[in-house]
Amino acid sequence: MKFIILLSFLLTSLSYAKEEISKLQTTGIFSKNEKGVFVFTDGEDEKKYYAFNKGTKDKVGGLIDQKVKINAKVKKQDGAKITLLTYIVSVKPVE
């Protein structure tokens, strides 16, 4: 009985933490907003991805306001208004 209660609790908890993790492979431009957050704007559909963590900021480095090709992982949580750029596999300037 305790196992069934624990299992139902875990399943309920997981349903609240739904998030969609996907790959992003495109070209676009990184910029920095007024709060100092790096924002990647997709060159095709103008969708914005926000990079908050230190690892993504380190990989972007001096590529602000330059067109880049990016291979990254993004995360969109249910009900959230923004999409997070969680991990950058590679980012290279486009000539």
Per-residue confidence in pLDDT tens, the chain, 95 aa: 555 665 555 555 544 455 578 899 999 999 998 988 899 999 889 999 998 788 888 888 889 999 999 999 998 877 778 899 989 999 999 97
Confidence at residue 7, expressed as pLDDT on a 0 to 100 scale: 53
Beta-carbon contacts of 85 under 8 Å, excluding residues fewer than 6 positions away, are: 24, 38, 40, 49, 50, 51, 56, 72, 73, 74
Q: Tell me the one-letter amino acid at 2.
A: K
Q: What is the pTM of this model?
A: 0.74
Domains of the chain: 19-93 (2.40.50)
